[in-house]
Amino acid sequence: MTIIVHHLENSRSQRVLWLLEELGLPYEVKRYARDKATMLAPPALKQVHPLGKSPVIEDNGTVVAETGAILAYLVEQADGRLGAPAHRTDALRYRHFLHYAEGSLMPPLLVMLVLARVPLFGKMGLKKFRPMAEVHFDYVEAELASRPWFAGDAFTAADVMMSFPLEAAVKRAGILEGRPHIAAFLQTIHARPAYQRALAAGGPYAYA
C-alpha cells in the first residue's frame, strides 16, 4: 500500500519525503500549514498522533512518529537499502549520526532559536551559548573532512537525518564561514534528483 506522510511545511518531515524518493517507495503527502501567529503545527495533526507533531506516517494501519524511527522503518521496508553499511566501523558511525542529529545537534539549535526571540536578555544569552553550539559545528566539519558521507564512502539514511539540523544551523546560526566541508555536503545533497523531487512534493521549505 501507499505510505501516507503527514507533512508540516518547513519542518523535519522534509527528510521523510527525501528518503522515500531515494528509496523509490510509493507515498502520498498530506500537507499541513503552520499557524501564522505561533508557527506551531495545527490541531488536526493530533487526530493522527496524540503528540500532534510532524512527521508522522501511516502504512497499512501502522502509525510511526519521530523522524529517526520513521527513517529506520522506511529502510526496513526497502530491504535495508541506504541502511547501515556492512563494515562494522561504518555501521557504528551510521547509528551514531542517526541519533546524534536529533539527540545532540538539534537541542542547541532550538535553544538558539528561542533565545533569538527573547528581547535584550536573549541576545546576551546567545552570546554566552554560542561557543557551546560551535563545538558541534566544528565536530561535524571535522567528520565530513575525513570522508564524503557521514557513515563512510556511501550515501545512507544517516546523511538524510543530518540534513535538517545542518540546514537549520545555516539559517539560524550562519555556520558556513570556515567550514567548507559542511557547505560542500549541503551543496551535494541539494543537487540530488531525489532531494529536488521531495521539495516539489513537500511544498514550502525554507532551509533548502
User: Which one, of 48, 45, 44, 62, lies nearest residue 1 by Cα?
Assistant: 62
Residue 84 makes CB contacts below 8 A (sequence gap 6+) with 90, 91, 94, 95, 151, 156
Convert the pLDDT of each residue in 54-65 to its tens digit. Answer: 899 999 999 999
Digit-coded pLDDT (tens) for 9-26: 888 899 999 999 999 999
Q: Percent of the chain having pLDDT more than 70?
A: 98
Domains of the chain: 3-82+194-202 (3.40.30.10), 88-192 (1.20.1050.10)
Given this model, what pLDDT does residue 27 score?
97
Q: Give residue 181's pLDDT band: very low, low, confident or very high (50, 70, 90).
A: very high
Name the E strands within the chain.
Answer: 3-8, 27-32, 56-59, 62-65
Mean pLDDT of 70-84: 98
User: What percentage of the chain reaches a pLDDT higher than 90?
Assistant: 71
Say if residue 42's pLDDT is above 90. Answer: no
Q: Using a cut of 0.95, tell me whether the model's pTM lies above it.
A: no
Write down the residue that cell numbers 533565545 correspond to: 115
Average pLDDT over residues 34-44: 82
Q: Which amino acid is at 172?
A: R
pLDDT in tens, 148-162: 999 999 999 999 999
Query: Cell 513537500 sits at which residue?
Result: 202
Average pLDDT over residues 69-88: 97
